[in-house]
Structure 1
Amino acid sequence: MPPNATPGPGTGSAALPGTGQVAGAVIGVDIGTSSSKGVLVGPDGALLRTAVREHAPDRPGPGMFEMDADVWWREFTELARELTAEAGALGLKVAAVGVSGMGPCVLLTDEHDTPLRPAILYGVDTRSVDQIERIERHLGPARIIARCGSALSTQAAGPKIAWIAEREPDVYRRARRLYMPSSWLVRRLTGNYLLDHHSASQCTPLYDTTALDWYAPWAAEVAPGIELPPLAWSGEPAGEVTPEGARATGLPAGIPVITGTVDAWAEALSVGAQGTGDLMLMYGTTMFLIHTVPEPLTSPSLWGTVGALPGTRNLAGGMATSGAVTNWLRDLFAAGDHAELVRLAAESGIGANGLLMLPYFAGERTPLMDPDARGVIAGLTLSHTRGDLYRAALEATAFGVRHNLEVLAAAGGDIRRVVAVGGGTQGALWTQIVSDVTGLAQEVRTTSIGASYGGALLAAGLLGEVSVDAWNPVREVVSPRPEHTRRYDELYRLYRGLYVDTSATVHALAGLQSR
């Protein structure tokens, strides 16, 4: 159910009129790239408890990122048990469950729902370049964009299914079903097999964004033999926790579970960024941008998708790394946490004492769509410090955001409000740099934990009317500083030129890395 909507079917009478409260607590769990996060949220939207389980993707080869579905379920059960116990200690009953996860991912199972191999992750996994080229030659790039809203890229699920069919035919012969993290949790909790419309719209070229349904002719060519799941909207009920699911998780049997969606879209819902003209910036392991548009827009350099809520459309972008680079630097410097590096980066100042970074450490998704792009650090001298390097990484992300926004505007986007969310909003420096580089103000809500909170918000919508403004009001607005924006303009021009000037070299190096 959309936030601010009227109560839906079932237990709508559980709403507390005029308060935005629902009867009972809700749990939201998100399966992310580097961790699974769970939240326990009270009837008024208050964040009562959080819980985290850290993990790391497997990297079996160059450009490959995978994860075992057993990790998803094991960590969900641990988080659910911990948060359900916390609810009991507070005298609350868990009344509904929200789920989300990174995506689009490709987990193939047999007819008994036994995973046949680890899941292939979203656009950070770049193994399907050959399949993209083959499918494009066969179907035609213009036809794919017209029907599916997006060009084929390493973000798309379809070519990854084709990769398994071509490279692992013995596995594929047994494959019958397609799951993503959120739909896998739904299956284990409720016994039902379904997927949300938004996740399906990232399964290019299997989904028709005009018909809002799977496109059978192309699905039969790209994913033959796969029983594609029935579709529902993210906030709609997927079913109820079964007795088996209750025994595994500690959740009460019979409570509703939402259909769920991809983490970035759940993040947008958590901060109310789903109105026409809204732009969500997600500060996480990757930087994600979601712009809600009044009618379908397409761009070969961005992703046109259906939204998480009925009747909504998005033009979206995603960088392959952002927080991943700062984490890399933290580990490289053996720093205990980010706080000291953020302090040093603030002292470094605009331009990082003459350093410029390209943040393409895992290739780049939008708007370059270049899996062979690589990170570059230009201007290094013996006098540069940890703070300079960390500052250069933060500025590189901001330049990448600006690049995406320019492409979005060229495609017809009209940004009227920017809302920031994610772990990177906790310190003031990163969001301030992005506002200074882009010239745009950003709202930061009281709760910025993101997708798990968005899942909890949608779960509460199954119980009664919920207002995102009441649950999660604006905490602050980060405004750009014009004098800083002018200084960043020149650095941004250098940033754009650096990719062009170094691309031949880094592409050759990427070829050496894949040998």
Structure 2
Amino acid sequence: ERGGELVHMAEMFYVGVDVGTASVRAALVTREGLLKSSAEEPISIWEPQSDHFVQSSSDIWAKCCIVVKRSQIRGIGFDATCSLVVLDEHFQPVSVCHSGKNDSSRAGCTYNKFWSSGPKSRGRGHVSEMQPPKLLWLKENLKESCWNKAAHFFDLPDFLSWKATGSLTRSLCTLVCKWTYCPPEGWDDSFWTVIGLADLVDNNYSKIGKVSLGQGMTSEAAADMGLDPGTAVGASLIDAHAGGLGIIGVDVKGFNLPCEDQPITSRMAMICGTSTCHMAISQKPLFVPGVWGPCLSAMVPDFWLNEGGQSATGRLVWLQDHLVILYPKLFCVNLYTYLNFDLLTSSLHVWPDFHGNRSPLADPTLKGMVVGLTCSQTLDDLALLYLATVQALAFGTLHILKALEEAGHDIKTLFFSGGLSKNPLYVKVHANATGLPVVLSDQMEAVLVGAAVLGACASQDYSSIQVFEYVLYILVEMFSKPFFDL
């Protein structure tokens, strides 16, 4: 009983909302961490000019409302890709593209030369995917149409929390990982001055915000979503970090894993989707060359996060664009049934950095390579190319693991989630290449579960994230080497 109101434990649910590149998804999650139901809505994408993609923050919020029409919800949490949302002083969207199209407020620009000019983000590594280069790009390229009109800059996860609560405070996850905020010191005035964005320091950083915990849902947002006003809203997370939160802390006692009875720092969460993120945590800051971080409390409270990554892994393995176009006859067969065979690739090798290397080389200019191609285009040839691609990604993970270990991490078990974790070959090759057991979940949507954990903790039904995670029972399979000889 809370506040004189009897709470029926069996009827308590939490909602996790995940905003990706192409769609918004929501899941209704039980107290035990099980997905009761889910829904998905596509997001519109515009290309106002070549290689410049924008999306609408209003469209994204509308789709969030569509997928969350549920009742008896105790709490809700949001996660999303790290995109930039710009609002004016009246909280209306500001265009971030040259066309001036209204409401195209999600920026997808990069600014690679930014980091080569000298600024460093307190030694934590830097990439063009962070927000400072995007902000500088807007100031230099769209000063009149965007920069001078902007009153609020949000990471997309924080924009969703603001829409739900009306609070301008931001998530520690987004500010630390993508904006160079560094707890407990806070913002670094000199950093913004050096890079030419000193105006963001004004009014106590009012345009880019301060950190806060969960809030209650406003009446307007509650009406949009079909929920009760005051419904608990958790501090938002980046999508990969929500996935890591949804899987890395589960109870694995009795499964004879090397991480059993070891600290949570012996685990690495891999969020395997369109790209793959390698999430490792530590009790003290560890600086890993070529790997993002360390970031304090960015995924698990009071732990430092190092995040490795591989770009376009899902696109490569799912044979989109680069591999399947030469083999149209494959569409008449069960593709993965045919391809998931153990075929040796001793004379065929793939370098998978078609979109550059995130980690540990941290070189966005790198290109992909295929060595050993012949003129033949048989199904066997495609199967070999497929296997060589999966192997290349697995050895890329090993490369990241080695860099983490050299810096002081001691990873004993891999925890997989995301679309690629449903591919047995991808999982088995990773176990073989790294020599580590791989833990899979029967709740495949770990990102949505992680977002729901935020709502559960914001509701105060649980005293901490860790307490809620240990309620979950999600381990169903373990893979370890050897499955076959590479």
How far apart, CA to CA, are the structure 1 residues paired with 2:171 and 2:324?
36
The corresponding residue for 2:80 is 101
How far apart, CA to CA, are the structure 2 residues paired with 1:357 and 1:250?
49
The corresponding residue for 1:467 is 468
> Using a 3 Å threshold, how does the CA distance of structure 1 residues 220 and 108 change in structure 2: closer, same or farther?
farther
The amino acid that maps onto 2:76 is: V
The corresponding residue for 2:428 is 432
Structure 1, residues 293-317: CA drift from partner, whole Å, max 9, x if none? 1211113311112232331101111
SS of residue paired to 1:48: strand
Identical-pair percentage: 22
> Using a 3 Å threshold, how does the CA distance of structure 1 residues 336 and 347 change in structure 2: closer, same or farther?
closer
The corresponding residue for 1:283 is 272
> Using a 3 Å threshold, how does the CA distance of structure 1 residues 324 and 445 change in structure 2: closer, same or farther?
same
The corresponding residue for 1:244 is 220
1:175–1:225 CA contact under 8 A, matched in 2: no
Trace 1:442-461 onto structure 2 (pairs within 5 A). Answer: 442-461=438-457
SS of residue paired to 2:301: coil
| Structure 1: tracts of 5 or more residues without a match | 1-9, 488-515
How far apart, CA to CA, are the structure 1 residues paired with 2:56 and 2:25?
17
The amino acid that maps onto 1:182 is: P
RMSD value, Cα: 2.9
- Please say if 1:193 is aligned against 2:168: yes
- Please say if 1:155 is aligned against 2:134: no
Trace 1:48-447 onto structure 2 (pairs within 5 A). Answer: 48-55=36-43, 58=46, 64-81=52-69, 84=70, 88=71, 93-103=72-82, 105-116=83-94, 117=96, 118-121=105-108, 127-134=110-117, 136=118, 139=119, 141=120, 144=121, 147=122, 149-170=123-144, 171-204=146-179, 206-209=180-183, 211-222=184-195, 223-226=197-200, 227-232=207-212, 236-237=213-214, 239-273=215-249, 275-304=264-293, 305-306=295-296, 307-327=298-318, 328=320, 332=325, 340-347=334-341, 349-351=343-345, 354-381=347-374, 382-385=376-379, 386-447=382-443
1:176–1:225 CA contact under 8 A, matched in 2: no
Matched residue pairs, number? 442
Structure 1, residues 132-160: CA drift from partner, whole Å, max 9, x if none? 222x1xx4x4xx4xx2x422222322111
The amino acid that maps onto 2:78 is: V
The amino acid that maps onto 1:248 is: D
SS of residue paired to 2:178: coil
The corresponding residue for 1:47 is 35
Structure 1, residues 26-78: CA drift from partner, whole Å, max 9, x if none? 11111112322210112332211111223475555676554332332122111
How far apart, CA to CA, are the structure 1 residues paired with 2:302 and 2:405?
22
1:30–1:36 CA contact under 8 A, matched in 2: yes
How far apart, CA to CA, are the structure 1 residues paired with 2:301 and 2:470?
20
The corresponding residue for 2:14 is 26
Shift of 1:426: 1.7
Q: Hey, which of these two has a bigger chunk of helix by percent?
A: 1
> Using a 3 Å threshold, how does the CA distance of structure 1 residues 168 and 42 change in structure 2: closer, same or farther?
same
The amino acid that maps onto 1:370 is: D
Shift of 1:430: 1.1
How far apart, CA to CA, are the structure 1 residues paired with 2:355 and 2:240?
19
2:351–2:392 CA contact under 8 A, matched in 1: yes
SS of residue paired to 2:228: coil
How far apart, CA to CA, are the structure 2 residues paired with 1:212 and 1:451?
30
SS of residue paired to 1:179: strand
The worse-fitting range, judged by mean Cα deviation, of 173-182 and 354-363 is 354-363
How far apart, CA to CA, are the structure 1 residues paired with 2:400 and 2:447?
22
2:43–2:63 CA contact under 8 A, matched in 1: no
Shift of 1:450: 2.1
How far apart, CA to CA, are the structure 1 residues paired with 2:453 and 2:332?
29
2:181–2:187 CA contact under 8 A, matched in 1: yes
1:272–1:469 CA contact under 8 A, matched in 2: no
1:22–1:44 CA contact under 8 A, matched in 2: no
2:19–2:25 CA contact under 8 A, matched in 1: yes
How far apart, CA to CA, are the structure 1 residues paired with 2:400 and 2:194?
32
The amino acid that maps onto 1:464 is: D
The amino acid that maps onto 1:380 is: L
| Structure 2: tracts of 5 or more residues without a match | 97-104, 201-206, 251-263
How far apart, CA to CA, are the structure 1 residues paired with 2:36 and 2:3?
23
2:20–2:80 CA contact under 8 A, matched in 1: yes
The worse-fitting range, judged by mean Cα deviation, of 286-295 and 353-362 is 353-362
Shift of 1:384: 4.7
How far apart, CA to CA, are the structure 2 residues paired with 1:13 and 1:355?
66
How far apart, CA to CA, are the structure 1 residues paired with 2:283 and 2:21?
31
TM-score (structure 1 length as normaliser): 0.78
1:154–1:365 CA contact under 8 A, matched in 2: no
Shift of 1:95: 1.7
The worse-fitting range, judged by mean Cα deviation, of 265-274 and 284-293 is 265-274
How far apart, CA to CA, are the structure 2 residues paired with 1:15 and 1:320?
45
The corresponding residue for 1:509 is none
How far apart, CA to CA, are the structure 2 residues paired with 1:473 and 1:196?
27
Structure 1, residues 315-338: CA drift from partner, whole Å, max 9, x if none? 111112111223415863569999
2:311–2:353 CA contact under 8 A, matched in 1: yes
